[in-house]
Amino acid sequence: MGSMAPNEAQIVVLTITQVIVVILLSPLYQGIYDRGKAIIEGRKGPSVLQPYYDIIKLLRKETVISNNSLSLFVYAPYIVFGIYLLISFVIPVVYPVPILLTPTVDFLGGALLFSLAAFIKIIASLESGSNFVALGVSRILSFTFLSEATLITVFFGVALITGTNNPYVTLDYVSQSLSHYFQLDHIFVSISFFMLWLFETGKLPVESPGLSEMGMIDDGVLYEYSGKLLAILKWGSYIKQYLLGSVLLNVFIFPWFLQVGIIGSLIDIAVMFGKWLLLILISVIINTTLAKLRLFKVQDYLAVAFLLSLLSLTLTVLLG
C-alpha cells in the first residue's frame, strides 16, 4: 500500500484520538456528575470512577437471556454501541475541524443515527417479552415523539442560521463573532437543545431513577438485560451523553478555545474537560435545586423545548 500524504495521516491520527477519547472518557463525566450531585445533597457519594467499576463488574457477570428473547435482543447492544461510535467519527466532539468520515454525514444524518439507535434499543427490549419492559417502552414513546422532533428541528434551525448542515461550519460561524453568538435564533435553539440534553441524558429533575419504578424512563428499557449486554448498553448511554453534550458545548453554548493540529488535539482534551466541568456544574445545580417534575409533566417540558426550536426557525426566516 502506498504511503499516505501527511495531511491524510494527520486526519487519521486526529480521528483515532477523538474516538478513543469518546470511548475512554465518557464514563468519567457521568462519575463526576454523580459525585458532584452527592456533594451538593450532603452525601459522600460514589467515586468519580464508579461508572468504570460498574462496567467492569457487569462484564464479568453472567448474561441471563429470557427464553422468549430473539436474536435482536442479544445483538442490539452491540449495534447501538456501534452507531454511537460511528457518530463520534463525524461530529465535533473534541476536534474543531472535519475528521475522517465527516463528509459522509451532516447534522441531520447525525440526528437520524441517534434516532436509529433509540429505535433499535426499544424494539430489542420488547423481544424479552417482559410486561415491565412493555410499560417502560410505552412511557418512553409517550415522550420521544417530542424529543426526536425537537432534535431534528434544532438541527434544521442550525442549518438555516448558517446555510449548511455541516456541524464544523456551524462551530466556525458561531465562534467567529459575538454578534452571531447572540442572535436571537441561536439563543433560542441553544436553549432548546440544552433542555433536550437534560432529558436525553437523565439530568432532568424527575422522580428519582434507579430501583423505583415510578422514576424509571430509560432504565425501564434495560430492565431485562444483564451481564455483558447491560455493560455495553450502559457504556453506550455514557457515549451518547458525551456526544450530545459535546455538540451542545462546541456548536451551541461554548464554541471557543479549541485548537488544531496534533498538539492541538491533546490541548483540546483538556479544554473539553474544562467545558464539561462547567456543563456538569450547571446540570447538577438544576437537578438539585429545582422541584422534581412528575412524569406526566415531562411532556410539557419537551413541548416547551420543541416550541423554542420552532421559534428559532421562525425568527431565522423572518430576520433573514
231 inside domain: yes
- For the cut 50, the answer to whether the pLDDT of residue 4 exceeds it is no
Distance, in Å, from the CA atom of 203 to the CA atom of 287, rounded to the nearest integer, reads 6
173 inside domain: yes
Higher-scoring residue by pLDDT: 155, 272: 272
Range of the domain at 123: 6-319
For range 24-31, the mean pLDDT: 94
220 inside domain: yes
Distance, in Å, from the CA atom of 219 to the CA atom of 211, rounded to the nearest integer, reads 9
188 inside domain: yes
The three-class DSSP label of residue 41 is coil
From residue 185, give the alpha-carbon distance in Å to each of 45, 173, 180, 190: 40, 14, 10, 9
Q: Give tens-digit pLDDT for 58-103.
A: 999 988 887 777 788 889 999 999 999 998 888 878 878 777 777 7
Cell triple for 266: 491533546
109 inside domain: yes
- Overall number of domains in the chain: 1
274 inside domain: yes
Instruction: Provide the pLDDT for residue 186.
Output: 85
1 inside domain: no
Adjacent-strand bridge partners of 293 = 206
Closest alpha carbon to 107 in 162, 180, 183, 184: 162
207 inside domain: yes
Q: Give tens-digit pLDDT for 193-222.
A: 999 999 888 887 775 444 444 455 667 778
